[in-house]
Structure 1
Amino acid sequence: MQLPQIKIPKKYLKIGAWVLGIFALLLVAGGAVAYGKREALLNKMVAKAIAKAEKDYNLSVKIGEYGFSGLSKVHMSNISVVPKDRDTLTTIKDMTIGVKIFPLLFGDVKLSEVNLNDGNLNVVMRDTLTNIDFILKRKKKDSTTAKSKVDLSELASNLLNQVFYKIPDDMEIKNFMMQLNDNDTASVKFLTTTATIDGGELKSTIKVNDTAAVWHINGNLDPSDKQLDVMLFADGKKVELPYLENKLHTKINFDTVKTQMKDASFSGGDYKISGSWAIKNLLINQPRISADDIIVPDARIEADMLIGENFVCLDSTSTVYLRDAYVHPYLKYTLSPNKIYEMKLTAQEQDAQAIFDSFPLGLFESLDGIKVQGKLKYSLDFYLDTAVPDSVRFNSTLTPSNFKVLHFGKTDLQKINSDFIYTPYEYGKPMRNITIGPSNPNFTRLDDISPNFKNALLTAEDPSFYRHKGFVEESIRKSIAVNFKEKKFKRGGSTISMQLVKNVFLSRKKTLVRKAEEILIVWLIENNHLVSKSRMLEVYFNIIEMGNNVYGIGEASRHYFAKSPSELTLGEGIFLANIVPKPKAALYKFMSNGTLKGYLLPYFRYIGNIMARRGLAPADTTGYGFYDVRLREGLRQYLAPDSTTLDTNSVDIGEDDMMTPEGMQDKSKSLFDRLFGGSSKKEKDTVKVKPAVDTVKTRKQLRQERREERRRKREQEKNGN
């Protein structure tokens, strides 16, 4: 196909040539004027920058010499930056910076070249002060200026643009020291002996703590397309982070870590960043996470991050890989108008053995070597609007398909089906070995335990025990809501199944890993029917702590009442259920004559009423056996004076009338400490006695007690007849 010829009159060509010529002449003239005044402009800009640093951030910036080197390069020497009343932050002996001319015309500063020789960046922390405090200092604003709403997507785009704009096309750095001194107790030094960018290829050599290690950060950079692919590794050894180990008692090392950014752009009004992150042979040792090293041989995440006007989100298109297993995470944090936390995990149906093999080494010690068949899939849905915490959503489901345990790992999860030795621990130390079986005279079969105790304890601790499969999601959901509102770990969500697994199969070290292992073992036992519900309850009743060195219902019934478990009355059963959360406080609940203190009566009525509604006890307006409980005479010599009071009966009601174990919590600890056992002090008995108080009763109280006593005697006589 031949294009038609376009004829342009010569006079128009001449006019166009004249216009272009005049425009070029103006550019040359303007450039010549600017070139002639560029030194003056540079002086003005440097003076303005130094004044701004001092005024806004209290920084003393000094530059020994500076000036243009070529058309677009600025050379500076003997630079120093010192925050007011702080240690020197930066010194640079020699530096040359080049900028791109064309973007500069539109107000964008893009670096074309950076050369730096002999520099130092020194961060010093002294008590609560550092020499980088100025970064957090905001400029004073006019109080009359209305606050403008920040669009997070625009902010992310601008920040990322600034980062990529500052990556030069060519770079050469020699002998640049970066060091951190944390109160003279921990420090780390990184000496970049060489770092170059040539044609987008990054190469660097970094000495860590003088001669401790040599690191390399190598890869490819493409700032114009917002792409990078870099890897960190060490010569002949693992990459180690000594500062974390010295400061936070956390050991972390790995072979390589690789980061890749594939794209960053707006998508449907949100700013989307796509990339990946991978690590090889990661080792973590943190006492609050695990007592042993955790090793992750191979982990990788393909991530899509979305940043909207008021939220940050890891999209569900992301995938986390651990060996041959994978999961799709969804994490979202919304800032306004209310803070909202969302998390979803979806693991499609996968080979079960591949999932167990993907667990990091040292993570679940008791399951090490387990062999299974079939498939598993998992889903988690969590949503918390901080404005309405009671509406928290929590659903967690692990679904098996033809799943079966072929071989147990290090621990036989069916060992409690026959006689075994149980060792209780207190404060991290073993107390004594207890045989759970007929050879132990205190062992009591489930059928030989009074229903009064069985029903009372199940009512108080886990009323849906025979219906659930190890977990009560509603209880967990309510625990999350209560703990969030109270800003502390006030309420737990453990079932009897979880308490049994924790005590029989796991170590006594309170760590995050142990809690996760507990949950997984409970699922394996309950969903695969490895142990019957009746046997689980029988073992639980025979190992539960019920006093100072008192374990199991057989020891407890004889210790407090000189009875066998089958002879327990309703009142005695309710009392023994009451002491489970704080067993060491049991004797503080008795008067010197062996009767119970009055503050326990509401508890008896509460538990008794629930049992009566469920047909587990007859209705009793007098207190469901409260007045019948008598401590055996041999123990009364150890009782505290009647004037001593102890609040051991705070009733916190859960779903299904379930008591919550608030009494088991040490309120002096933080949430992190309670979860992971992070107290540095030696733990003490949590039973705390209040000072003596005036116990003189009013005449009205005395009359009420006499009426209750007469009513009780009449009922006893009536029942006797």
Structure 2
Amino acid sequence: MRIPKIKIPKKYLKIGAWVLGVFLIVCISLGAVAYSKREALLKKMMAKAIAKADKDYGLEVKIGSAGFTGLSTVKMTAISVVPKERDTLSSIGELSVGVKLFPLIFGNVKLSEVEMSDGFVSVVLKDSTTNIDFILKRKKKDSTENKGKSNLAEIANNILNQVLYKIPDDMDMKNMVFKFNDHDTAQLSFATAAVIDGGDLKSTINVNNGESTWHVDGYVNPGSKELSFTAYADGKKLELPYLNNKLHAKLSFDTLQTELKNAKYSGNDYKISGSWSVKNMLINQPRIASNDIIVQSAKLDADILVGPNYIALDSSSTAYLKTAEIHPYVKYTLGKNKIYELKLTAEEQDAQGVLDAFPQGLFESLEGLKVQGKVKYNLNFYLDTKTPDSVRFNSTLTPVDFKITKWGKTDLQKINSPFVYTPYEYGKPMRDITIGPSNPNFTPLNQISKNFINAVLTAEDPSFFTHNGFVEESIRKSIAVNYKEKKFKRGGSTISMQLVKNVYLSRQKTLARKAEEILIVWLIEHNHLVSKNRMLEVYFNIMELGKNIYGIGEASRYYFGKQPADLTIGDGLFLASIVPKPKASMYKFMAGGGLKPYMFNYFRFMGNIMARRGLTPADTAGYGFYNVRLREGLRQYLAPDTAAVDTAAFDGEEDDEGMPPVIMQDNNKNLFDRIFGGSKKDSSSVKQADTTTKSKKQLRQERREQRKREKELENGN
């Protein structure tokens, strides 16, 4: 099909030519006027900017000289920026800035070139102030002015565009030093030279006056929203001494790469696509592990979605550890009630490849383990802070033709035969205990009273014989309780987990140890390496049941002068009650050897649960409460009945092995400290008893606390 020619009369062409000519003449005239007055305009704009910096940010800005050196390039000298009553933030000898004219017509300042030399930027932290706290004040002011709903997608788009527009096409930075001073206890300095030429970035960074030399090379194309950087060091790993000096942590790596691939709107979401990768990253931090952990190869191909009120790592993202792959989905929704979501999906893949992908040094006991077959994994977590009790949690590691072909450093079947168990106090070994017939205190499972077995299982792990090492409902309830209490109050450990923790692993409370505990439990349970009966038998023979009292054989003779087979329902309930706080056991007795009255409610509550499950006959008299009598030889060590002992001091976290029975939880500790360290320490020290008699008010308070504990225990079972 041919497009017909459009014939335009000549008079209209002449009129158009005259209009265009006049427009060009006007533009040229205005440009000439602006060019002739640009120096005056520059001074006026600079004065306005300096005044605004002083008014809005409290900054004293000084510029020695300023002027145009080209059509759109401004050169300034002797620039200094000093926050009021703070250390100098920046000083620059010479700075030349060129802007692109076309974006400027539309009000956008896009840098075409930047030259900077002989200067420094210094961040100083001193006491409770810094020389950059003016930024925080400004943010606070902005948030006060913008109380309406903010669209996070728009904010992300604006911020990224502003950052990209400030990256010049060409840059030459010489003799610039970036310094950081943290309360005079840790200091960093980076003497930097960098060049951007046609999008190619080359830089050299001298760290702490020759301590090491870094390089950051890459490619920048801000207009297309494409960036790529690689960081490495000359002759050794790239590391930050600041982390070791200030935070007692060590972090280093051979190379670090990051790439921004694209950023654009996808519906109402702003989508940022990029990747991050690292080679031979070394981490050493006491809370994570007691030794160096090396991540040989890791990469994340990420699609980040920023919606109107949420930020998410989309499930299209892929994380790689060597050859292992996993797809993460993380979402954080803002609002009056925040929502946290986490999903992890690992498709079926080689089990040995997954095992080899774990960082070196992470799993000490499993080092050298060889397996065959495949595994796949799924995790789903959802927490709406408005209704924490409805939290969702499930985690499934599924084996496919999985088999262990070679043990690692530790034989996971070692407890099937006699072995030596070593309990620890204060991180030091107490004594060696043989778990086998050669130890006169060792008691086979069939020689332990069912009263004790049923009482402990009811209190600690009711579904022990039916679960595979983990109870998701217990973990779910623990998450809800800990979130509501804002502290680690309830654990979700099963007897399988407690056994693995005590027999196979070190006593150091770290993230690595917890992860290894979970993996060993899975290996034992899913491969049936140890029978349930043997696990329970070992557990009953190593469990702490008093100060330096380990195992049911020692405990039954110590408290009651009985054989484990002769324990009554009352004896069993008492011993079950002290499992969470074994060193507090003697405080539960009166001077005459009977149990203190406040224990009656515990006996009745636990006994009723056991009776409903058919584990013991119903007993309205308290399930043997009145028949529990401490061995006469121990009664001389009991406090007088008039002594006031704060029994609530012995309550606390379920996973609190070895904590001093009378030391209250430190509310200043964060959740991380409470799980892996901090206030929980092994000890045999006790608090001096108050010699005053309890008042009625104290007794009422004690009963209320006891009822609260009973309710929590009922919810847990």
The change in CA–CA distance for 1:651 and 1:293 in structure 2 (over 3 A counts) is closer
Aligned residue for 2:138, secondary structure, equals coil
1:13 matched to 2:13: yes
1:492-571 superposed matches below 5 A? 492-571=491-570
Q: Structure 2: how far apart are the matches of 1:470 and 1:530?
A: 12
Return 5+ residue gaps in structure 2 as ranges: 701-717
Q: Who is 1:82 aligned against?
A: 82
The change in CA–CA distance for 1:452 and 1:125 in structure 2 (over 3 A counts) is same
Pairwise CA distance, 1:138? 2.6
Q: One-letter code of the match for 1:667?
A: Q
Q: Structure 2: how far apart are the matches of 1:347 and 1:434?
A: 42
Aligned residue for 1:640, secondary structure, equals coil
Pairwise CA distance, 1:589? 1.1
Aligned residue for 1:161, secondary structure, equals helix
Q: Who is 1:344 aligned against?
A: 343
Q: One-letter code of the match for 2:82?
A: V
Q: Structure 1: how far apart are the matches of 2:146 and 2:6?
A: 59
Q: Who is 1:713 aligned against?
A: none
Q: Who is 1:300 aligned against?
A: 299
Q: Structure 2: how far apart are the matches of 1:469 and 1:690?
A: 44
1:16-35 superposed matches below 5 A? 16-35=16-35
Question: Contact 1:204 / 1:218 at 8 angstroms: preserved in 2?
Answer: yes
The change in CA–CA distance for 1:670 and 1:644 in structure 2 (over 3 A counts) is farther
Question: Contact 1:605 / 1:624 at 8 angstroms: preserved in 2?
Answer: yes
Q: Structure 1: how far apart are the matches of 2:139 and 2:560?
A: 73
1:93 matched to 2:93: yes
What is the number of equivalent residue pairs in this alignment? Answer: 692
Pairwise CA distance, 1:8? 3.3
Q: Structure 1: how far apart are the matches of 2:674 and 2:514?
A: 12
**1:50-87 deviations in whole A, cap 9, x for unaligned?**
11111111111111111111110111000000111110
Q: Structure 2: how far apart are the matches of 1:645 and 1:245?
A: 47
Pairwise CA distance, 1:697? 9.1
1:129-140 superposed matches below 5 A? 129-138=129-138
1:189-208 superposed matches below 5 A? 189-192=189-192, 194-208=193-207
Question: Contact 1:645 / 1:689 at 8 angstroms: preserved in 2?
Answer: no
Question: Contact 1:191 / 1:207 at 8 angstroms: preserved in 2?
Answer: yes
The change in CA–CA distance for 1:156 and 1:7 in structure 2 (over 3 A counts) is same
Q: Structure 2: how far apart are the matches of 1:294 and 1:612?
A: 50
The change in CA–CA distance for 1:546 and 1:139 in structure 2 (over 3 A counts) is closer
Question: Contact 2:425 / 2:682 at 8 angstroms: preserved in 1?
Answer: no
Aligned residue for 2:439, secondary structure, equals coil
1:188 matched to 2:188: yes
The change in CA–CA distance for 1:420 and 1:649 in structure 2 (over 3 A counts) is farther
Aligned residue for 1:551, secondary structure, equals coil
Q: Who is 1:40 aligned against?
A: 40
Q: One-letter code of the match for 1:88?
A: T
Question: Contact 1:345 / 1:378 at 8 angstroms: preserved in 2?
Answer: yes
The change in CA–CA distance for 1:685 and 1:386 in structure 2 (over 3 A counts) is farther
Question: Contact 1:349 / 1:376 at 8 angstroms: preserved in 2?
Answer: yes
1:233 matched to 2:253: no
Question: Contact 1:644 / 1:689 at 8 angstroms: preserved in 2?
Answer: no
Q: Who is 2:441 aligned against?
A: 442
1:460 matched to 2:453: no
Pairwise CA distance, 1:618? 1.4
TM-score, with length taken from structure 1: 0.93
Which deviates the most, 1-10 or 463-472? 1-10
Question: Contact 1:554 / 1:564 at 8 angstroms: preserved in 2?
Answer: yes
Q: Structure 2: how far apart are the matches of 1:346 and 1:623?
A: 50
Aligned residue for 1:550, secondary structure, equals coil
Q: Who is 1:712 aligned against?
A: none
Pairwise CA distance, 1:646? 3.5
Question: Contact 1:366 / 1:411 at 8 angstroms: preserved in 2?
Answer: yes
Q: Structure 1: how far apart are the matches of 2:140 and 2:607?
A: 64
Q: Who is 2:618 aligned against?
A: 619
TM-score, with length taken from structure 2: 0.93
Q: Who is 2:66 aligned against?
A: 66
Aligned residue for 2:616, secondary structure, equals coil
Q: Structure 2: how far apart are the matches of 1:381 and 1:395?
A: 5
Identity of aligned residues (%): 67
Aligned residue for 1:409, secondary structure, equals coil
Pairwise CA distance, 1:664? 7.4
Q: Structure 1: how far apart are the matches of 2:128 and 2:682?
A: 29
1:113-152 superposed matches below 5 A? 113-138=113-138, 147-152=147-152
Q: What is the CA RMSD across the aligned residues, in angstroms?
A: 2.2
**1:267-318 deviations in whole A, cap 9, x for unaligned?**
1110000011000000000001000100000000100000000000000000
1:112-511 superposed matches below 5 A? 112-138=112-138, 147-192=147-192, 194-511=193-510
Return 5+ residue gaps in structure 1 as ranges: 654-658, 702-721
Aligned residue for 2:345, secondary structure, equals strand
The change in CA–CA distance for 1:143 and 1:540 in structure 2 (over 3 A counts) is closer
The change in CA–CA distance for 1:650 and 1:464 in structure 2 (over 3 A counts) is farther
Question: Contact 2:272 / 2:304 at 8 angstroms: preserved in 1?
Answer: yes
The change in CA–CA distance for 1:142 and 1:95 in structure 2 (over 3 A counts) is closer
Pairwise CA distance, 1:615? 1.4
Q: Structure 2: how far apart are the matches of 1:372 and 1:223?
A: 48
Which deviates the most, 139-148 or 80-89? 139-148
Aligned residue for 1:547, secondary structure, equals coil
Pairwise CA distance, 1:13? 2.3
Question: Contact 1:652 / 1:662 at 8 angstroms: preserved in 2?
Answer: no
Q: Who is 2:665 aligned against?
A: 667
Aligned residue for 2:157, secondary structure, equals helix
The change in CA–CA distance for 1:628 and 1:697 in structure 2 (over 3 A counts) is farther
Q: Structure 2: how far apart are the matches of 1:553 and 1:312?
A: 52
Q: Structure 2: how far apart are the matches of 1:585 and 1:644?
A: 15
Aligned residue for 1:321, secondary structure, equals strand
**1:581-610 deviations in whole A, cap 9, x for unaligned?**
111111111111111111111111111111
Q: Structure 1: how far apart are the matches of 2:29 and 2:695?
A: 104
Aligned residue for 2:88, secondary structure, equals coil
Aligned residue for 1:365, secondary structure, equals coil
**1:160-206 deviations in whole A, cap 9, x for unaligned?**
001110010110000000010111110111000x2111110000011
Question: Contact 2:545 / 2:582 at 8 angstroms: preserved in 1?
Answer: yes
Q: Structure 2: how far apart are the matches of 1:696 and 1:425?
A: 39
**1:427-460 deviations in whole A, cap 9, x for unaligned?**
2110000000000000000000011111111111
**1:325-356 deviations in whole A, cap 9, x for unaligned?**
01000000000242110000000011111100
Q: Structure 1: how far apart are the matches of 2:353 and 2:144?
A: 62
Pairwise CA distance, 1:687? 5.0
Question: Contact 1:288 / 1:678 at 8 angstroms: preserved in 2?
Answer: no
**1:378-401 deviations in whole A, cap 9, x for unaligned?**
000000111111111101001111
Pairwise CA distance, 1:643? 2.3
Question: Contact 1:545 / 1:551 at 8 angstroms: preserved in 2?
Answer: yes
Q: Structure 1: how far apart are the matches of 2:415 and 2:78?
A: 75
Q: Structure 2: how far apart are the matches of 1:646 and 1:513?
A: 38
